Structure 1
Amino acid sequence: MIRRLRLAKGWSQERLALEACRAAGLPPDSLKRQDIYRYEKGKRTPREWLPSVAAALGVPLVELQAAAGKSAQESAPVTVADFLPDIDPLTPLKVRQGRRIGAGDVTDLAGRVHGLRLADDVLAGGDLIGPALRELKSAIKLYREGSHTQEVGRALLSQIGELAQIAGWIASDAGRHEEAERIYKLGMSAARQAEDATLVGNLAGSLAYQYSNTGRTKEGLSLARAALDQAGEDAPPKARALYLDRVAWAHTKANEAQPAMRALGEASQALAEDSEARESPQYLYWVEAGELEVMESRVYTELKRPLRAVPLLRDVLTRYDATHTRELALYLSWLAVALADANEPEEAAATAKRVISLSADVASERTAERVRVILHRLEEYRDVPEVREVLDDAA
């Protein structure tokens, strides 16, 4: 558990030793890298250092105490590091000789991957992170420890890439951004080896989207553009539309209005080219005109153009599937902000109340963050009774 939490923070063993010393208020060399190594290998128990290690890692002491009483075999894998302990996620996967893997195994895996993707439509990251990572572990083990033809191996790599994309998305939704980044990069490595350029672009675009949403705007923009450029003009229409959507969002977060609007227009044109003659991958089933309208309205909201954003969002929401609770809450959150920007605080407050209600039982960091954004935006209108009621209830 110590190792998993350390890697999730991106820390070396030496860094964890230093942070534990700081937490204990002791000189930097009181705990050494070798001690952390022994703890992680199970060769020694932290004992008196356990509270300081827990404080450094930001977890309750009781959780580390409970983990100390379990064997490594009893602990379920919950991070990529658990099953890729010593390998850079961009290092090509190595194959061992084991049982023969055939096309049927690939078909079974593809079915589970698609099932997980459909589950993400109605469940949040906090609910799905465990199953997603278990599936990813199983898929990697299948590839590494089995023997297969080159064709089957390439198909397995594509499925690992697809699985990494949805697992990364789920991890990001659960607020585990460092973990999501590792998963996305693992998927990009697998997709490259499978020579699946469309899938590489989807994974790179997903990571770019996360960068844009977590303050890494320059990286988000450069990676979104790289995903689009790699795909080229021959990419399936839905894929190209999605890549352009992410470019638009990256420009928006960088406060570059004109390039953002241009990318949105190009995304709509790309989607209009979609036809049976140019089939898109199954995993892009959700990319359609309504989703592009949502992105367009989000861009308008972010750029403080509520008169354009509000009608678009209202139109989309009248047609949206209410069983997709997380997405419904997210889209309503943009409407609440746009209404506040349009100087309609009463309507903004009513929409905010609905967002908070929908988000209450959704284990999603995305929705939690959007609630924080709404409440911050409504502070300007605290003197309005409807707004004050929402703010006081939230507090």
Structure 2
Amino acid sequence: MTVDPFALLLLMLRKQAGRTQEQQADAINAASGRITVTRREISRYEKSENIPTNHTLEHIAVACGVPFEELQREAKAARARRREARRHDEEDLDAMKRRTVLEGAIVGVSAAAEPWQRLAAVLQRGSRVDEASVAALIDRAADLHLQELSLSPRHLQYKVEAHLDAITAVLPQAGQHERALTISAGETAALAGWVAWDLGEHTKADAYYKVTENCAAAAGHPPLRALALAYASYGDHAPVDKLRYLHQAAQDVRGRGNAAAAAWVHGRYAEEAAQLGDDAQALQALERAQFAYDFADHTSEQAWVRFVTPYRMDSLALSVYGQLRRAELITTADDALTRLGDGLPDGGVVVLGDLAIALLRGGDVEQGVHVTRKFAAAAQAKPTTMGRDRAHAIAGSLPSDQRDLAHHLRQLAS
């Protein structure tokens, strides 16, 4: 039986992810949260014996780290080809399919309709990857950093690791695009590390951060190392090591075009210095963070700085002032509460947690309990390591008449 170009595309996506048919089925089932396909079904897809439904295509897209709309379009074209084929007799059908697979196998990179179809052709022919395919991979990596604010860690992990597989498969054919793809691979690996840490997979996280630093060295791109070091500073390391990581990260984001990244790195340094009780260092670093943020331009800087929002800067300041027991805590909490309003920003679990702690420590118990309830709902909807840490801290700051709420938070923390 001759193979349809869409079946070839599915085959190429699996191979570039480095999976067997059974592993591909497992990845798709993990994305869906239940058993929806088997190894035999994967084989049928790749032999043109069956075409996945749109529902299954959604899970394939997640498992392979590709846009659902692209797969849906290619599947629709495959179904149309199948309907057309059924109008001919057996001889015409065989001839038509031979032409189709020939066209699909030798289609030029520039002539293919979609980036992912071009990528499949590049991998099949072993030629250089084209500029449009590189742009699609880089854009996908940037989009994953935006999705980090809204997706659960487990859901995001499948998407990020699948996309990292895709970039890794293409790198040997990158040619003149090697540096850009290496940077994108490093950014994706750093996000994979962060998600792994959020899920408690600390050894895995450290391995991803290390390979991110390797990508930074290979590409000659210091801000990428800063990303790995700043993420690693949240890990289970000695305080002096965390400050050393962040000091190096601050050196890596010096210069134009890194203002938002510098704001985050200096803010993290301030948090860790405050944790050690070093008032002078903490306040100096926080001032640098706030100064850098005044020059931030998220539209022109790296995609991974999108989470450094005014809300996140409020959170960093609240964390520092709260640990140092500074008088600025009260006014900063009031300003943060005003900025937050009735809404909840993307990635708001950490922001709400720090705000609740600040209000409770600052003496505004009524408002603190109100924000705590919002935090509890957000933390339950999107469980993360940072959310659990803050749940534990808030539970210990609640007044005695909020025992039920404190108990709920301790359950979230555990």
TM-score range, shorter chain: 0.5 to 0.7
Is the Cα contact below 8 Å between 1:248 and 1:261 reproduced in 2?
yes
Structure 2 residue 230 is the aligned partner of structure 1 residue 205? yes
Whole-angstrom distance in 2 between the partners of 1:291 and 1:261: 17
Whole-angstrom distance in 1 between the partners of 2:286 and 2:332: 14
Structure 2 residue 166 is the aligned partner of structure 1 residue 138? yes
**Normalised by the size of structure 1, how large is the TM-score?**
0.66
Whole-angstrom distance in 2 between the partners of 1:298 and 1:130: 31
Whole-angstrom distance in 2 between the partners of 1:191 and 1:72: 30
How far apart are 1:182 and its partner, in Å?
A: 1.4
Structure 2 residue 319 is the aligned partner of structure 1 residue 298? yes
Structure 2 residue 258 is the aligned partner of structure 1 residue 236? yes
CA offsets 1:277-308 (integer angstroms, 9 cap, x no match): x9533432443554323311211112233x42
How far apart are 1:112 and its partner, in Å?
A: 0.9
Moved more, 342-351 or 175-184: 342-351
Calculate percent identity across the aligned residue pairs. Answer: 21
CA offsets 1:149-184 (integer angstroms, 9 cap, x no match): 2x3111110110111222222222233232222112
Moved more, 224-233 or 295-304: 224-233
Structure 2 residue 273 is the aligned partner of structure 1 residue 251? yes
State the match for 1:390 in structure 2: 405
Could you list the runs of 5+ residues in structure 2 that have no partner in the other structure? 1-20, 31-124
Structure 1 392/363 Cα, relative in aligned 2: closer, same or farther at 3 Å?
A: closer
Could you list the runs of 5+ residues in structure 1 that have no partner in the other structure? 1-69, 79-96
State the match for 2:146 in structure 1: 118
Root mean square deviation, CA, Å:
3.0
Whole-angstrom distance in 1 between the partners of 2:23 and 2:164: 19
Structure 1 248/113 Cα, relative in aligned 2: closer, same or farther at 3 Å?
A: same
State the match for 1:59 in structure 2: none
Whole-angstrom distance in 2 between the partners of 1:285 and 1:392: 34
Whole-angstrom distance in 1 between the partners of 2:310 and 2:407: 38
Whole-angstrom distance in 2 between the partners of 1:258 and 1:302: 13
How far apart are 1:323 and its partner, in Å?
A: 5.2
State the match for 1:266 in structure 2: 288
Give the secondary-structure state (helix, strand or coil) at the position aligned to 1:319.
helix
State the number of aligned residues.
294
State the match for 2:372 in structure 1: 352
Structure 2 residue 183 is the aligned partner of structure 1 residue 158? yes
Equivalent runs, 1:13-92 vs 2, <5 Å = 75-76=26-27
Is the Cα contact below 8 Å between 2:353 and 2:375 reproduced in 1?
yes
Structure 2 residue 194 is the aligned partner of structure 1 residue 177? no
Structure 2 residue 183 is the aligned partner of structure 1 residue 168? no
Structure 2 residue 170 is the aligned partner of structure 1 residue 148? no
CA offsets 1:308-350 (integer angstroms, 9 cap, x no match): 224323423443494546x323222222222332344444333
Question: Which of 362, 371, 384 is matched with 2:391 structurally?
Answer: 371
Structure 1 282/354 Cα, relative in aligned 2: closer, same or farther at 3 Å?
A: closer
Give the secondary-structure state (helix, strand or coil) at the position aligned to 1:122.
coil
One-letter code of the match for 2:157? I
How far apart are 1:352 and its partner, in Å?
A: 2.1
Whole-angstrom distance in 2 between the partners of 1:392 and 1:206: 30
Structure 1 76/238 Cα, relative in aligned 2: closer, same or farther at 3 Å?
A: same
Whole-angstrom distance in 1 between the partners of 2:380 and 2:360: 22
Structure with higher Rg: it is 2
Is the Cα contact below 8 Å between 1:238 and 1:270 reproduced in 2?
yes
**Normalised by the size of structure 2, how large is the TM-score?**
0.63
Whole-angstrom distance in 2 between the partners of 1:292 and 1:366: 16
Question: Which of 330, 338, 350 is matched with 2:350 structurally?
Answer: 330
State the match for 1:342 in structure 2: 362
Whole-angstrom distance in 2 between the partners of 1:369 and 1:323: 19
How far apart are 1:353 and its partner, in Å?
A: 2.4
Whole-angstrom distance in 2 between the partners of 1:330 and 1:180: 20
Question: Which of 210, 217, 224 is matched with 1:192 structurally?
Answer: 217
Whole-angstrom distance in 1 between the partners of 2:146 and 2:256: 27
Is the Cα contact below 8 Å between 1:126 and 1:364 reproduced in 2?
no
State the match for 2:238 in structure 1: 216
Structure 1 235/223 Cα, relative in aligned 2: closer, same or farther at 3 Å?
A: farther
